[in-house]
Amino acid sequence: MYIGFDYGTANCSVASMDGNDPTLHLLEKDSFYIPSTLAAPTRDSVAEHLFRHRDLAPLDADGEQRLRRAIAANREEDIDLQFDDVMFGQAALDLYLSDPHEVYYVKSPKSFLGAMGLREAQLGFFEDLVCAMMANIKSQAEKSAQQIITDAVIGRPVNFQGRGGEASNIQAETILRRAATRAGFRNIEFQFEPVAAGLEYEASLTEDKTVLVVDIGGGTTDCSLIKMGPSWAGKADRNDSLIAHTGQRIGGNDLDIHMTFKQLMHPFGFGSRTLSGLEMPLTQFWNPIAINDVSAQAKFFAKENLKDLKHLHKEAAEPEKLARLLSVYHDTLGYSLVKKAEEAKIALSDSQVFTAQLKVLSELIDVDIRLDEMIEAIEVPKSKMVELVSEAVTLGGTKPDVIFMTGGSARSPILRSAVEQVLPNIPLVSGNYFGSVTAGLARWAKVCFE
């Protein structure tokens, strides 16, 4: 059996073909979508979980050495790892939110795969993370389909997050391929996510059109200008139909992070001063919430930064605020703060004000966020997304007949309005915001594997 596999930054989903129509498969309880999250007792638990409970051995000697170190570290901490100790999706998020201090939690590992300067051990660890998530998803999908899955077309952005250009893309795709191979997939192909979304839209066309696909995912925004329609449907060679691609590491997570920074970090000392009148350093409020930036996270949660935070607390004119920032450090609260901003972003699509409740130390802090404040907070990432739309049309040298928007953040009326302002008088349509890429990947899998 073959599938289309959307290994997303925010959520994952898979689909197979039922005749000429894609069918999504249940991955978590009654949901077709599973959040891209993992929780475990320790960082070292992931490698042991794969070997001990899923019978998935490392691919090489480096992996075997990493596994031995992980098992030894768990034994030192007297951890007897059980199958259910490693959790995925909403269950992982619920566990983290219930007690963040006692859980090793990862959200959106896809965001880190293209980061340059990673050591071999770090690359191997990301392979373990992705493999664990893929193995869980493969197992759940096989239960849903009641068939063994052997082949997959995996979606990928035009450009992965990372400053290495094509080197970042090669590194990220290599990690995904190694992880998928280890998880049990036999034949693996990749397809650009916006192209996949376009293939799903193409199935509804009765005449050829030039379509601009705007895919705003959790980690990236990708735009593809594509010739589509009955003349192209089902063709294995689509090179002549692909007019232009643009893509950047800017997505829904970035909207949430900017929202968190501008609207939720003031109770933690953002904008406050020391007793001598100096402003608090901005990086101490950005780094803990930059959940898609390996370097920023490493700097904030480094042991040496604890000394700096304690010094700022001692020198603060409002020490109670810096005490909360220390709690962000000790309890790794960055993910939960960004989650609150995401909730606010969604709520403000339908209202003018939202009250975010932040639980820190023994306090429950209410922060009111107005719609105009949110619009101002996300201006920088929004502008970058819109630039990608314009760039795709410029590179293609032709205007589209229609704009097809997909991805979770494409639901935002603010982003949709921004795209309409750049390309006025062109019809803007949408399908399944979360499922279009997955369905298109399944359609391409049919072309690849039948």
Do 268 and 375 lie in one domain? The reply is yes
Q: Are residues 8 and 53 in the same domain?
A: yes
On whether residue 441 sits in a domain, the answer given is no
- E strand map for 185-340: 187-192, 209-216, 221-228, 242-248
Residues 131 and 214 in one domain: no
Q: Is residue 436 in a domain?
A: no
CA 194 to chain centre: 15
| Residue 367 included in any domain | yes
User: Please, are residues 291 and 334 in contact by the beta-carbon 8 Å criterion?
Assistant: yes
| Of 438, 436, 442, residue with least CA distance to 201 | 436
The candidate with the shortest Cα–Cα distance to 442, out of 8, 32, 20, is 20
pLDDT per position in the chain (450 positions), as tens?
Answer: 999 999 999 899 999 999 989 999 999 999 999 999 999 999 999 999 999 999 999 999 999 999 999 999 999 989 999 999 999 999 999 998 888 778 899 988 998 899 888 888 899 999 999 999 999 999 999 999 999 999 999 999 988 877 778 999 999 999 999 999 999 999 999 999 999 999 999 999 999 999 999 999 888 899 999 999 999 988 888 889 999 999 888 999 999 999 999 999 999 999 999 999 999 999 999 999 999 887 899 899 999 999 999 999 999 999 999 999 999 999 989 999 999 999 999 999 889 999 999 999 889 999 999 999 999 999 999 999 999 999 999 999 999 999 999 998 998 999 999 999 999 999 999 988 889 999 999 999 999 998
Same domain membership, residue 242 and residue 316: yes
Residue 198 lies inside a defined structural domain of this protein: no
Extract the tokens encoding 305: 């930064």
Phi, psi of 276 (to 5 degrees): -90, 0
Q: Establish if 8 belongs to a structural domain.
A: yes
Structure confidence at residue 358 (pLDDT): 95
| Distance, C-alpha 370 to centroid of its chain | 26
pLDDT score for 193: 93
Task: Kindly report the CATH number assigned to the domain that includes residue 58.
Answer: 3.30.420.40
Q: pLDDT for 5-51, tens place per residue?
A: 999 998 999 999 999 899 999 999 999 999 999 999 999 999 999 99
Cα–Cα distance measured from residue 386 to residue 363, given in angstroms and rounded to the nearest whole number: 39
Query: Domain range spanning residue 262?
Result: 207-429
Cα separation, 334 vs 47, whole angstroms: 25
Paired tokens of 39: 């929780």
What is the bridge-based pairing of β-strands 209-216 and 402-406? Answer: parallel
What is the pLDDT at residue 102?
81
Mark whether 24 and 156 lie in a shared domain. yes
* 62 and 125 both lie in a single domain: yes
Number of domains making up the chain: 2
Residue with token string 């007897």: 80
Q: Can you give the pLDDT at residue 245?
A: 93
pLDDT of 327-374, one tens digit each?
A: 999 998 999 999 999 999 999 988 999 999 999 988 999 999 999 999
**292-298, long-range: CB within 8 Å, 24+ apart, which pairs?**
292/9, 292/108, 292/111, 292/112, 292/161, 292/219, 292/249, 292/253, 292/254, 292/257, 294/112, 294/115, 294/118, 295/115, 297/334
> Would you state the pLDDT for residue 341?
96
Determine the pLDDT at residue 236.
85
Identify whether residues 221 and 145 lie together within a single domain. no
